[in-house]
């Protein structure tokens, strides 16, 4: 070794050396990276800035994670956002019908953990039969299908699938609300099973997708009376008495074709839409809402563009077609360059993509870490936009005084991304490893420490399901997508907001922990944007918390 070269740790403070040692040791337990954040901040303060003193070691640790925890071999189906959310269902009960967990978005009142399931849950005429079926399900392998009422005033009820799952050494019953969807393969089996005509199938499909008999009549050029007679004939054929029973029969049929396997809750995801531009670059995308609705280009958060059923239904009800491309390096979407140039490069690719879809102009909607990509598209291609809307956005930290608006833990995360990007990368890699080891919840709890609204949202079963699906789709293809998100989230990207003026609307939840109202107003003034619109009873997951309000704002932007 020449005289001017030094041993790797020679110029590193003792505090930083301790962080480096712990970073290597953390390979055995990825979750142990969480407390290292504070250690690194202390080392940075002692040294007056750590610079690149330990970058080589952090890069080495990241490479070791790649070898020890290969992303393409991990199973993300058991990923948890909270230790107590291992039961991902809408209602879990034991064989004595005592409630273990409950999704309060489905059962808003009257169903409480550690209490017995109330009698009003069941059809009064079938209560003993249905309770007996549930008890039997706790010891059998078959999925059953039954109707439950979601509150004492509910007259229609909802259908649920019930199946046995292991819990604390015993088997209990998990119940999942049936979300109606039209699946062509299952529909063919439905048609064969009941000998339906093409018209009867078309009518069923229209009703399953939320349409009315009047709309079907208009589409077919028939009178409403004719369509109602067709529906009555279909009901007689199926031995049912109403449109609602037709929908429930269809739901029960498709669920009977797809029985669950213990430990397999359908957390795989396959993207059905893929566009290749003339240069061979790929954009994978999702579609939500109304396929014939007004076009909305969606820029997703870190976790991807999958919508929960409630959000997708709100988009459909608002008459919106949500076109949601996976961002660069996510899944099958190819990328060109990570970092600050990524949003601008992707913006230029989206014009051909919209042309491919036959979309001349749209409203652009972004959320959280998707905001830099939203702003880049609004900057580069204003001619393709009616308006850009940032719902629950991340906004750039311009100077040190801006940190006062953030919570303590988020301030720590943000600072480290800037002062020690090499450590931030290995921290991200440890977090990705934890998704496959069952310890991811420790990273989530750390980031959302003292953020009760956000913590509650990421624990919702339907949100956790989408996290798992996105992880199973994205991570086996590599870590560059989340890495690109981190690089752009922590950069000073305020230049992308300058000059947008009233072409960009900021929508904020009144309890947003990432972008508090005061910081949003300061940012709007700083960049010459319109006054932010504040939505009550919502946090930083604004689209999840208040989808109807968000999509009403989007719908109004087309006027």
What's the pLDDT at 541? 97
Assigned domain for 63 exists: no
pTM value?
Answer: 0.70
Q: Are residues 278 and 173 in the same domain?
A: no
**DSSP string of 351-415?**
HHHHHHHT-SSEEEEEEETTHHHHHHHHHH-GGGEEEEEEEEE-----SGGGGGGS-HHHHHHHH
What's the pLDDT at 180? 63
- CA nearest to 265, candidates 134, 174, 382, 362: 174
Assigned domain for 165 exists: yes
With a cut of 70, say whether residue 83 has pLDDT above it: no
Sequence-distant (6+) residues with CB within 8 A of 10 are none
Ranges 59-63, 113-117, 531-535, most confident: 531-535
CA–CA dist 456, 446 (Å, integer): 14
CB 554 within 8 A of CB 318: yes
What's the pLDDT at 165? 80
Q: Are residues 512 and 548 in the same domain?
A: yes
Q: Are residues 126 and 214 in the same domain?
A: no
With a cut of 60, say whether residue 1 has pLDDT above it: no
Sequence-distant (6+) residues with CB within 8 A of 1 are none
Average pLDDT estimate for 270-278: 93
- Which phi and psi (to 5°) does residue 212 adopt? -110, 165
Sign of the dihedral defined by the CA atoms of residues 536, 542, 545, 549, in that order: positive
Q: Are residues 109 and 241 in the same domain?
A: no
Q: Are residues 308 and 291 in the same domain?
A: yes
Ranges 80-84, 124-128, 146-150, 288-292, most confident: 288-292
Assigned domain for 366 exists: yes
With a cut of 70, say whether residue 266 has pLDDT above it: no
pLDDT in tens, 418-432: 888 889 999 999 999
CATH of the domain at 545: 3.40.50.1820
Residue with tokens 């009941």: 194
CB 380 within 8 A of CB 406: no
Task: Give the confidence band of 141 by pLDDT, cuts at 50, 70, 90.
Answer: low
With a cut of 60, say whether residue 326 has pLDDT above it: yes
What's the pLDDT at 461? 81
Classify strands 282-289 and 294-299 as parallel, antiparallel or unpaired. Answer: unpaired
Residue with tokens 């879990």: 92
Angle 452-455-457 from CA coordinates, rounded to 5°: 110
Task: Give the confidence band of 168 by pLDDT, cuts at 50, 70, 90.
Answer: low
With a cut of 90, say whether residue 439 has pLDDT above it: no
What's the pLDDT at 491? 85
Q: Are residues 188 and 114 in the same domain?
A: no
DSSP state of 326: P
Sequence-distant (6+) residues with CB within 8 A of 82 are 441, 444, 445, 455, 458, 459
pLDDT in tens, 509-528: 999 999 999 999 999 999 99
What's the pLDDT at 473? 95
Assigned domain for 16 exists: no
Assigned domain for 552 exists: yes
pLDDT in tens, 348-371: 999 999 999 999 999 999 999 999
Average pLDDT estimate for 481-486: 89
Task: Give the confidence band of 256 by pLDDT, cuts at 50, 70, 90.
Answer: low
DSSP state of 336: S
Q: Which has more confidence, 359 or 216?
A: 359
CATH of the domain at 103: 3.30.450.20
What is the residue range of 136's domain? 91-177
Q: Are residues 277 and 250 in the same domain?
A: no
Assigned domain for 61 exists: no
Assigned domain for 477 exists: yes
Q: Which has more confidence, 305 or 461?
A: 305
Query: Which burial class, exposed, middle or buried, applies to 28 when counting CB atoms under 10 A from its CB (0-12, 13-18, 19+)?
Result: exposed
Average pLDDT estimate for 498-515: 96
With a cut of 60, say whether residue 190 has pLDDT above it: yes
- Which phi and psi (to 5°) does residue 395 adopt? -125, 150
What's the pLDDT at 286? 97
What's the pLDDT at 467? 94
Q: Which has more confidence, 398 or 185?
A: 398
CB 61 within 8 A of CB 27: yes
What's the pLDDT at 210? 62
Residue ending a domain, among 143, 162, 177, is 177
CA–CA dist 452, 446 (Å, integer): 12
Classify strands 144-148 and 362-368 as parallel, antiparallel or unpaired. Answer: unpaired
Sign of the dihedral defined by the CA atoms of residues 133, 134, 136, 141, in that order: positive
Coil/strand/helix, residue 481? helix
Q: Are residues 529 and 489 in the same domain?
A: yes
Task: Give the confidence band of 264 by pLDDT, cuts at 50, 70, 90.
Answer: very low
CB 347 within 8 A of CB 355: no
CA–CA dist 522, 502 (Å, integer): 15
Q: Are residues 172 and 188 in the same domain?
A: no
With a cut of 50, say whether residue 257 has pLDDT above it: yes
CA–CA dist 375, 120 (Å, integer): 50
Angle between the N-to-C axes of helices 36-47 and 408-419, in degrees from 0 to 180, rounded to the nearest 10: 60
Assigned domain for 425 exists: no
Task: Give the confidence band of 82 by pLDDT, cuts at 50, 70, 90.
Answer: confident
With a cut of 60, say whether residue 480 has pLDDT above it: yes
Residue with tokens 């976790």: 303
With a cut of 60, say whether residue 85 has pLDDT above it: no
Average pLDDT estimate for 158-175: 80
Give the residue ranges of DSSP H helices in 69-138: 127-137
Average model confidence (pLDDT) across the chain: 87
With a cut of 80, say whether residue 392 has pLDDT above it: yes
Q: Are residues 124 and 220 in the same domain?
A: no
With a cut of 60, say whether residue 262 has pLDDT above it: no
The number of beta carbons lying within 10 Å of the beta carbon of residue 448 is: 25
Q: Are residues 118 and 223 in the same domain?
A: no
With a cut of 90, say whether residue 7 has pLDDT above it: no
- CA nearest to 321, candidates 364, 288, 283: 288
CB 454 within 8 A of CB 513: yes
Coil/strand/helix, residue 173? strand
Classify strands 282-289 and 273-276 as parallel, antiparallel or unpaired. Answer: antiparallel
Q: Are residues 304 and 230 in the same domain?
A: no
Residue ending a domain, among 159, 177, 195, is 177
Residue ending a domain, among 177, 200, 221, is 177
Domain count, the chain: 3
The number of beta carbons lying within 10 Å of the beta carbon of residue 156 is: 9
């Amino acid at each position: 070794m020449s005289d001017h070269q030094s041993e790797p740790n020679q110029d590193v403070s003792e505090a930083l050396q301790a962080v480096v040692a712990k970073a290597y040791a953390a390979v055995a337990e990825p979750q142990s990276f969480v407390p290292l954040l504070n250690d690194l901040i202390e080392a940075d303060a002692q040294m007056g800035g750590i610079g690149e003193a330990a970058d080589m070691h952090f890069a080495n640790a990241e490479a070791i994670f790649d070898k020890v925890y290969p992303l393409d071999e991990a199973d993300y189906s058991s990923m948890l956002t909270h230790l107590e959310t291992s039961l991902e269902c809408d209602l879990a009960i034991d064989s004595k019908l005592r409630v273990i967990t409950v999704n309060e978005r489905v059962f808003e009142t009257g169903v409480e953990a550690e209490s017995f399931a109330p009698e009003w849950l069941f059809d009064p005429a079938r209560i003993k039969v249905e309770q007996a079926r549930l008890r039997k399900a706790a010891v059998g392998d078959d999925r059953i299908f039954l109707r439950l009422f979601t509150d004492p005033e509910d007259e229609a009820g909802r259908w649920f699938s019930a199946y046995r799952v292991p819990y604390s050494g015993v088997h209990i019953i998990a119940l999942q609300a049936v979300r109606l969807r039209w699946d062509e393969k299952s529909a063919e089996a439905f048609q064969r099973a009941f000998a339906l005509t093409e018209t009867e199938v078309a009518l069923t499909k229209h009703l399953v997708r939320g349409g009315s008999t009047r709309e079907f009549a208009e589409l077919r050029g028939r009178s409403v009376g004719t369509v109602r007679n067709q529906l009555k004939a279909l009901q007689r054929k199926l031995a049912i008495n109403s449109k609602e029973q037709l929908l429930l029969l269809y739901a029960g049929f498709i669920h009977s074709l797809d029985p669950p396997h213990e430990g397999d809750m359908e957390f795989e995801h396959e993207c059905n839409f893929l566009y290749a531009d003339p240069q061979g670059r790929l954009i994978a995308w999702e579609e939500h809402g109304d396929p014939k609705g007004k076009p909305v280009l969606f820029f997703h958060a870190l976790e991807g563009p999958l919508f929960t059923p409630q959000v997708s239904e709100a988009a459909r009800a608002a008459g919106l077609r949500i076109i949601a491309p996976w961002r660069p390096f996510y899944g099958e979407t190819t990328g060109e360059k990570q970092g600050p140039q990524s949003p601008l490069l992707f913006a230029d690719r989206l014009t051909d993509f919209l042309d491919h879809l036959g979309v001349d102009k749209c409203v652009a909607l972004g959320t959280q870490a998707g905001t830099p990509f939203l702003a880049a598209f609004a900057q580069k291609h204003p001619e393709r936009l009616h308006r850009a809307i940032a719902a629950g956005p991340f906004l750039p930290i311009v100077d040190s005084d801006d940190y006062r608006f953030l919570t303590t833990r988020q301030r720590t995360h943000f600072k480290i991304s800037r002062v020690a990007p090499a450590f931030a990368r290995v921290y991200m890699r440890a977090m990705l490893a934890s998704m496959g080891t069952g310890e991811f919840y420790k990273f989530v709890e750390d980031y959302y420490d003292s953020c009760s609204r956000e913590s509650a949202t990421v624990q919702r079963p339907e949100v956790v399901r989408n996290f798992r699906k996105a992880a199973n789709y994205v991570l086996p293809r590599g870590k560059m997508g989340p890495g690109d998100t981190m690089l752009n989230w922590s950069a000073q990207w305020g230049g992308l907001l300058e000059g947008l003026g009233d072409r960009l609307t900021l929508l904020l939840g009144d309890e947003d922990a990432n972008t508090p109202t005061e910081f949003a107003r300061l940012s709007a003034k700083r960049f010459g944007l319109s006054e932010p619109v504040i939505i009550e009873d919502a946090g930083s997951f604004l689209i999840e918390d208040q989808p109807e309000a968000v999509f009403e704002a989007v719908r109004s932007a087309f006027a």
